[in-house]
Structure 1
Amino acid sequence: MIALPSIAQRRAALERRFPVWPRVTLAAHFERACRGFAARPYFYLDDARVTYGAVWERAVEYAKAFLAMGVRHRDHVAVLMDNDTAFPALMVAASLVGAVFIPINAMLTEREMRYVVAQSDARFLIVRQRVKNRDYGRMAVEMLDSGASALARVICLESTRMPGVGDRATTWDAFLAGGEATSDAALQQRRDRSAYPDEVAIILYTSGSTGSPKGVMLTGDMLLRCAYSTCLSRAIEVGRVTFAPLPFYHCFAIVESILAMSFVGGAFISAPGASPLHSLELMEKFHANDYLCVPSMLLPLLDHPRVAQFDLSALFAMWCGAAPAPVSVWQRARDILGLREIVTGYGQTEVSSSGVITRLDDPLEKVASRVGRPKPGGVSGLPEFGGSPVEYRVIDRDTGAPLPARSVGELAVRGATVTRGYYRKPDETARAIDKDGWLRTGDVGRIDDDGYLQILGRSEEMYKVSGELVAPREVEIVLSDHPAVSLAYVVGVPSARTTETGAAFVELRPDARCTRRTLIDWCAARLTAYKVPRYVWFLAPGEWPMTGSGKVQKFHLREMAQLRRAHRTPAAKRHAVPS
């Protein structure tokens, strides 16, 4: 176990480094960080150890290449790649020349990728030619040749072109060579014209589970305030090493690891999709102090038979979010991993990442039942919001009117980290954000007397059984409390008798045995009758439909429930209860 300064001492050290809020661009922020921590490791990826100084040198090199290629102020530059050592420097380079940086989800289908590139008005696309067995280089060149978008240039991260790409794409060597003639003065001149921190810096596309993906517009100031308030909330010390097995295209990775670490000269370990065993190996190898994860990553790691064999004595902190977990999971994480500071949080792309977080000294019972309260912002916060960058309230889902304290309704948020809207989607923006800046989150919940948020589910995930509203999360928590259950998710499906009814998908812990009837009886003893799921299906660890950031896709679970219900086995029929 490592010795640490107190929480108060760590926060005071951060506040001494930032006595006032520096309203700067991402590039200006990184210039300060990279010069102040030049020799420190910034991130570890595969076999690479990349320092802050190296990131800045690469960013300047890439920025000069952008200018030589004709990237203009406010041009849109998209990137499509797995986690790559070039990513952080490309993000900084885009800011240096005043371009808008657009990371594209590497798990997209060809149709989805074409939509995002066209809808975003990307003029430049930097692409890894082959990602997850998809020929993105070929797709990118086809889009370039079709003229169906604003795309003007495609740059491949490789030095050679793959079959099907041809000479229409610029190789990485040629891209870099083009910038060699760009002077420092020319780059500085562009920087001087691109120094406004409230211009859109990044557009992040939402998953589009309820329609076409929407491009969330975020400024550099929004992103930096969100990252700084995370550092203050979690009392992140200088030099912290964070294991963050998250995809770079997701706001959780960008804000809570890439940006947050840059405030304290910390380092992050990138390993998206790492197996539990590989995760343990990396945390031991790099002496990780912190673990950013979601339950679908945490639970297999805790269950790994070799977890006790690894030296994780440097590890003391964890942020596990995105999905509910019972007290037993938090207790196991504390005991097995030796954690002293466990938090969960809540946010969304539209809030730059996290808006609320539990406190470091909150009991695990609170971590299991709440997602936190607005993050203290220090110099990044607003006095009208009690020092936080944001404020939340509960509104009526139909009228938008604010509801009294402790009421259940839709959560709304406004503040310094909340998006201005969706790119080229004025109707969706108008529906989501009112004239006073309140963003409808789409999440149903309540705010308790201490200001903590309790999430009950997405608005579209709620379902009615015989006229009674059911919050899936309430049922999921009960199922997760069963000692045999590792993961549980509940969705509503149509019912001829009751309009809708509940269908549960469950993953059991290793070596655990349990029947559908056992779980239905377990719920019946703890829930009102209409909340008891009618259907229960078991899934193996690899069968969950997941996003790249490890979230379970409930709309796919609903589709699976419909199919399984239509082809029910005798066992499924035996264990269904009347609805």
Structure 2
Amino acid sequence: MSFNSWSATATLGDLLVRSANRFGSRKAIVFSESEMTYAELLDGSVAVARGIIGLGIAPRSHIGLLANNGHELVTGLFGAWLANCVAVPLNARHKAHELGFIIDNSQIVLLLSAAGDVTHVDFRDNIASALPSLACTSSNKLELPEAAALRNIVLLSGKAPQGFMDAKEFAAAGDKVTADDVDHRRRCTKLRDIATIIYTSGTTANPKGCMLTHEAMSRGPVERAEKRFRSGEYDVTWGGGPLFHIGSLAPFIGSIGASGTYLTDTFFNPERAVALMARNGVTAMWPWFPAILQPLLDQPNFVAATEKLRSMLLIGPETLVNRVQQFLPQAEIMQACGMTETAGIFALSDPDETPTQRATSNGKAVPGIELRIVDERGFDVPPNAVGEVLVRGYCVMEGYYRDKTKSAEALDKDGWLHTGDLYTRSTEGRLVFHGRAKDMLKVGGENVAAIEVEAFLCSHPAVRIAEIVGRPDQRLDEVPVAFVELMPGTQVSADDLIAHCKGRIAGYKVPRAVYFLNAEDWPMSATKVNKRALRAWLAELAP
């Protein structure tokens, strides 16, 4: 018997150090208007780690990051990991309501942000809105009632207003910290330490923080980047999504671990993306969802820009996958299953699958991961029967931060993660997605918990009941639509309620339409509103 595969798992800081030592002059990450070699990425990350340590922040502390894709975000992530701290990347689209909750719930000690480019968003305003007590402080050493653990907010670029620390002050804090001090912190990090807490929407009123270990975040992505996707000496991988999202962070980590080059941009723009691919000779792509891929296919020079492409991972309908396979016959088109709670992928297309199988299924369990499909009683279902997929293995989260109840609901005593997603599994092991058992929407690749939007709508004084359902959308898969009952004697328009949400919760969560019902109009199922009936009504109202 011979074994020809093994795991070379490392902590996330080790991945960067290893690649920088081997290929320091190679491009690690390339944006549309700037780039960083491995040596530059390591130097910048060490500088952040020195600042973290210089501020007196202890190992295993939680470091928040609020920035778009750019130098500040990637050096902030690796700086936190090199300092043996836990990175908490915050969704750059979140507004005050979500940011305030996550900053407090995650017990962030230091928040790193950026204001060098405020063309699209000024994070200083968002932070100030999320932390109203910030306006009353005259020091950058914070004591805020709405975020008890938070001590410093650092801007890695841009002018620092009241309550913030600028990049120069942050660098000065690390002046007395040596590279050996950082190296000691890095080497004290364990594979099963929590590396990152990523907040994802669930069936609760607020996002939940998935605790992911260094092993969970590095082992699968690096193994696949080194063996499953590699097409040459090293790959040039394009990812269109934000690095605070596991769908982009995982392939970025894989690229760093395999000493490849990762291409991305501050914001997704299809024309800029195709130009970036052409300049750098892209060999692998992670568009993930139709909302990102379809605009690329419409670019006239997309095929020419991807002549070196050898692999693409996406999740989409059969018609789209077939179209891509015809566009790019030289590339292997793969589908997958994944979620934040599994640090990304837990199932992937096999190399020997036919084009039809790739277009109609979502792959098989990746090596080292176990899957079950169970019915409502928890019993395994026969092949091709619909049931909930359960996942067990190294990639599964350790639980939800500061939420023992939800953790116990998601993770059973035998280590199985109950995903709430419905699948079938063929006799050969291929999975096919059949929707979400949980009351969730998928808006352009972002999870949206209906109850989260419902709770926010109910914060309007005129709203008595709000129910959110998904309306099919060609570009974003689905978008949220609200059914609302008003308080007696009140009047408010659909536009008023939409305006109530805009700028206060992330744009993709804002209802696209609002329909009003009277108390006696709600379709009921026992004691609950029957959302299946609401969806049927919606199909009649807006076919």
Write the deviation string for residues 498-524 of structure 1: whole angstroms up to 9, x where unpaired: xx9x9863549xxxxxxxxxxxxxxxx
Alignment-derived partner of residue 182 in structure 1: 177
**Paired residue type of 1:154:** I
Residue of structure 2 aligned with 1:93, choices 79, 82, 85: 79
**Paired residue type of 2:152:** R
Residue of structure 2 aligned with 1:390, choices 369, 375, 378: 369
Question: Is 1:128–1:136's contact at 8 Å kept on the other side of the alignment?
Answer: no
Alignment-derived partner of residue 77 in structure 1: 63
Percent identity of the aligned residues?
24
Residue of structure 2 aligned with 1:403, choices 375, 381, 384: 381
Alignment-derived partner of residue 421 in structure 2: 443
Alignment-derived partner of residue 236 in structure 2: 241
Return closer, same or farther for 1:133/1:99 CA change in 2, 3 Å cut-off. closer
1:67 aligns with 2:25: no
State the alpha-carbon separation in 1 of the partners of residues 7 and 438 from structure 2.
38
State the alpha-carbon separation in 1 of the partners of residues 357 and 253 from structure 2.
28
Q: How many residues align?
A: 457
State the alpha-carbon separation in 2 of the partners of residues 97 and 394 from structure 1.
40
Residue of structure 2 aligned with 1:352, choices 343, 350, 373: 343
State the alpha-carbon separation in 1 of the partners of residues 425 and 335 from structure 2.
16
Residue of structure 2 aligned with 1:270, choices 250, 264, 268: 264
Question: Is 1:246–1:272's contact at 8 Å kept on the other side of the alignment?
Answer: no
State the alpha-carbon separation in 1 of the partners of residues 91 and 351 from structure 2.
32
State the alpha-carbon separation in 1 of the partners of residues 180 and 271 from structure 2.
49
State the alpha-carbon separation in 2 of the partners of residues 308 and 198 from structure 1.
41
Unaligned segments of structure 2, at least 5 residues: 135-141, 443-449, 451-466, 476-500, 522-535
Residue of structure 2 aligned with 1:431, choices 385, 399, 409: 409
Alignment-derived partner of residue 119 in structure 1: 105
Alignment-derived partner of residue 497 in structure 1: none
Alignment-derived partner of residue 156 in structure 1: 155
Return closer, same or farther for 1:49/1:151 CA change in 2, 3 Å cut-off. same
Question: Secondary structure at the residue paired with 2:438?
Answer: helix
Residue of structure 2 aligned with 1:325, choices 306, 312, 317: 317
1:169 aligns with 2:148: no
**Paired residue type of 1:396:** D
Q: Per-residue deviation at 1:23?
A: 4.4
Question: Secondary structure at the residue paired with 1:59?
Answer: helix
Alignment-derived partner of residue 207 in structure 1: 201
Is the deviation greater in 401-410 or in 133-142? 133-142
Alignment-derived partner of residue 121 in structure 2: 132
Write the deviation string for residues 207-249 of structure 1: whole angstroms up to 9, x where unpaired: 3465310000011111111212422333454321111111010
State the alpha-carbon separation in 1 of the partners of residues 205 and 286 from structure 2.
29
State the alpha-carbon separation in 2 of the partners of residues 454 and 272 from structure 1.
33
Alignment-derived partner of residue 313 in structure 1: 307
**Paired residue type of 2:29:** F
State the alpha-carbon separation in 2 of the partners of residues 183 and 507 from structure 1.
53
Using structure 1 for the length normalisation, give the TM-score: 0.72
Alignment-derived partner of residue 96 in structure 2: 110
Residue of structure 2 aligned with 1:29, choices 5, 12, 15: 15
Question: Is 1:25–1:197's contact at 8 Å kept on the other side of the alignment?
Answer: yes
Write the deviation string for residues 163-213 of structure 1: whole angstroms up to 9, x where unpaired: xx31x2110121112212212343344334x23111101100003465310
Write the deviation string for residues 94-152 of structure 1: whole angstroms up to 9, x where unpaired: 12221111000011110100000000000100122456255135345745453222101
Question: Is 1:315–1:339's contact at 8 Å kept on the other side of the alignment?
Answer: yes
Alignment-derived partner of residue 285 in structure 1: 279
Q: Per-residue deviation at 1:42?
A: 0.7
Alignment-derived partner of residue 412 in structure 1: 390
State the alpha-carbon separation in 2 of the partners of residues 440 and 172 from structure 1.
43
Unaligned segments of structure 1, at least 5 residues: 1-11, 376-387, 463-471, 474-490, 492-499, 509-544, 567-571
State the alpha-carbon separation in 1 of the partners of residues 255 and 39 from structure 2.
14
Residue of structure 2 aligned with 1:196, choices 190, 193, 202: 190
Using structure 2 for the length normalisation, give the TM-score: 0.76
Q: Per-residue deviation at 1:395?
A: 1.4
Q: Per-residue deviation at 1:52?
A: 0.8
Question: Is 1:280–1:310's contact at 8 Å kept on the other side of the alignment?
Answer: no
**Paired residue type of 1:250:** H
Write the deviation string for residues 400-423 of structure 1: whole angstroms up to 9, x where unpaired: 233333321111101011011000
Question: Is 1:24–1:221's contact at 8 Å kept on the other side of the alignment?
Answer: yes
